Structure 1
């Protein structure tokens, strides 16, 4: 199922990630309410082509996060059945997105502007989580956004900033979003201070992009007229600032029909997302002069469990339903890129092979 063993994957990942700086200003996420329940669309954009493995983590699995720079490393036993989207080809085993049986989802996106503040972040003494594991931990431990945020604010868990990704420090940020539409955005700010922004699917947190930090996105968006349907002040570049603004504009005006099927609603979600946030190949980001593209994308429903994966290198798609995995008693995997390329339209899960 997997092309690389764990050591090779991590070695390549470390080199690839270390080489990327401004080019990493990519990826987007939108979370919206629909007549079929709260739903999320998320893409992974990068300078190199990305893979994707859907990993089912059933209740009772014991886990440990490796965080050598911190006094205490997090260990946990999976409380809620969850499915994580794992990226091995470039990032060497990062869980980029996940959702659990309670409808709680979490997303990990790049945040270049936070990297400079890592040196000022102080170990809080809480059990620390590697960026490889933090999305899995959140969705396997908590039932709601409120529960996860309260635990964070009570110093029950922290992010292992100093350990970075495979030895290279990078800025990242986390969205936590549940089936009620409650959203939290966790970011590292000046002075090493963690800031938790709170909102819901009606707030600007319904859209998530990359740099700059949320307060700077808000200042940029304030200059545009999001009510002007002629879109005279809506910019077109692939920069994170512009993708975030376009995402807010498009999601502000989308209307979902009450009598539309879930398939129709999902199609409208994707067209809304793709118009504002999908990144075509070969375009240049005016902020950093780099090129990157959307390679993988998924849309999932927090209520009915539907999940659809798209590989934008080939435009092949494959799906599954969360509820079809709830009887699994061991960790199971499906390489969605590989299986889609084989012509499958429904993912087939089997025991995960050693990395």
Structure 2
């Protein structure tokens, strides 16, 4: 359903960008949130909506821009970048399972708040990996939920990338974290498991390799996750090195959109409910701290600059992009630089 790529094809780590597609069968209410930390009023957040002694509690250390799905009844953090250039993306993972045998001693973190916790407290991929390692204290238990604006379970896995050129994918299997940490792990789709994606990618990379005396440059063109993984991987591994930030942004945007699914696409087979239209695409610039949002149903692209956080009207501000009214969705046609258009709002994950 979703695709994420990390364009780190630059030896000096000067022009690093990450792009992702968000796919879903139906439209979802969507907003951008800007979190601006103030030293005299630190943002303290809770890992679960029904707070108790087992809820994970944290204090935000960094500013962030986050794409949220849902509305004031419930929000889920889906995608974003923080002021240290760390980018995080949550993608659907039908194989995820969160229950663990020793979960009673863990601190609970709702999967819909997982991404916000990472962006609030970590400055690098290395730090994220450490927080979810078996040696971490406290041990964190991911709690499942329902995707806001839908009836489907929030079965998700996490990808992270940073300004140092590092990348990782974290899956959850029976409550245990399976972590793939390697700068070469630059493409991610929903399924199969990342271990299987690596295996499939080895086949395709052999087909494209110059060492192969009978190389093949054929590409699967279908909408299935494995097809899209192969396409994105092929193009990402056949790019010239970037020469500027704009070059990297253009590369990432063009590659990830090549792996998108058209609006109103129908698979024609109820056996494949996870093949869905691309609702929106984001591109994050790790170095320049700029975040771009492209709504598939509107022609414009908007961007937000974390370097100009003083333009946000409040410590927590929101820009509504897709709004649900009377069982229909309004996609707002927005263009250009948008720091000035946010409005102050409440922190949806604040300790109450």
Alignment TM-score > 0.5, same fold: yes
CA distance in 2: counterparts of 1:75 and 1:133, whole angstroms: 11
> How many Å apart are 1:345 and its aligned residue?
2.0
The superposition leaves residues 265-308 of structure 1 with CA deviations (integer Å, 9 ceiling, x where unpaired) of 32222112222x21123152879433411011111101112222
> How many Å apart are 1:221 and its aligned residue?
2.5
1:174 aligns to 2:137 (yes or no)? no
Which residue of 342, 345, 351 corresponds with 1:349? 342
**Are the equivalent residues in 1 in contact too, given 2:98–2:175 (CA < 8 A)?**
yes
Where do residues 22-61 of structure 1 align in structure 2 (5 Å cutoff)? 26-33=1-8, 36-59=14-37, 60-61=42-43
The superposition leaves residues 186-244 of structure 1 with CA deviations (integer Å, 9 ceiling, x where unpaired) of 1123x5432111111xx1x2011111111111222233345269854421111111111
Going from structure 1 to structure 2, the CA distance change for 1:119 and 1:254 (only over 3 Å counts) comes to: same
**Are the equivalent residues in 2 in contact too, given 1:29–1:209 (CA < 8 A)?**
yes
5+ unaligned residues in a row in structure 1: which ranges? 1-25
Runs of 4+ in 1 over 6 A off after TM superposition: none
Where do residues 79-90 of structure 1 align in structure 2 (5 Å cutoff)? 79-88=61-70
Going from structure 1 to structure 2, the CA distance change for 1:340 and 1:255 (only over 3 Å counts) comes to: farther
The residue number in structure 2 matching 1:76 is: 58
Q: Indicate the SS of the match to 2:61.
A: coil
**Are the equivalent residues in 1 in contact too, given 2:79–2:88 (CA < 8 A)?**
yes
Where do residues 223-302 of structure 1 align in structure 2 (5 Å cutoff)? 223-224=203-204, 225-227=206-208, 232-258=217-243, 261-275=244-258, 277-281=259-263, 282-284=265-267, 288-290=271-273, 291-302=275-286
**Are the equivalent residues in 2 in contact too, given 1:310–1:318 (CA < 8 A)?**
yes
After TM superposition, the structure 1 stretch with the greater mean CA deviation from structure 2, 288-297 or 237-246, is 288-297
Q: Say which structure is richer in helix.
A: 1
- TM-score w.r.t. structure 1 length? 0.80
Where do residues 203-214 of structure 1 align in structure 2 (5 Å cutoff)? 203=184, 205-214=185-194
The residue number in structure 2 matching 1:12 is: none
5+ unaligned residues in a row in structure 2: which ranges? 324-329
Where do residues 105-254 of structure 1 align in structure 2 (5 Å cutoff)? 105-114=87-96, 117-120=97-100, 122-123=102-103, 125-153=105-133, 154-163=136-145, 169-189=153-173, 191-200=174-183, 203=184, 205-224=185-204, 225-227=206-208, 232-254=217-239
Count of equivalent residues: 321
Q: Say which structure is richer in strand.
A: 2
After TM superposition, the structure 1 stretch with the greater mean CA deviation from structure 2, 297-306 or 153-162, is 153-162
Going from structure 1 to structure 2, the CA distance change for 1:123 and 1:68 (only over 3 Å counts) comes to: farther
CA distance in 2: counterparts of 1:168 and 1:43, whole angstroms: 19
> How many Å apart are 1:160 and its aligned residue?
2.5
**Are the equivalent residues in 2 in contact too, given 1:63–1:77 (CA < 8 A)?**
yes
The superposition leaves residues 299-338 of structure 1 with CA deviations (integer Å, 9 ceiling, x where unpaired) of 1101112222111012322112121115755101112457
CA distance in 1: counterparts of 2:91 and 2:122, whole angstroms: 20
> How many Å apart are 1:257 and its aligned residue?
4.1
**Are the equivalent residues in 2 in contact too, given 1:45–1:296 (CA < 8 A)?**
yes
> How many Å apart are 1:343 and its aligned residue?
4.5
The superposition leaves residues 17-70 of structure 1 with CA deviations (integer Å, 9 ceiling, x where unpaired) of xxxxxxxxx111111125642111011100002343111112221211216698
**Are the equivalent residues in 2 in contact too, given 1:67–1:128 (CA < 8 A)?**
no
C-alpha RMSD of the superposition: 3.1
CA distance in 2: counterparts of 1:314 and 1:42, whole angstroms: 17
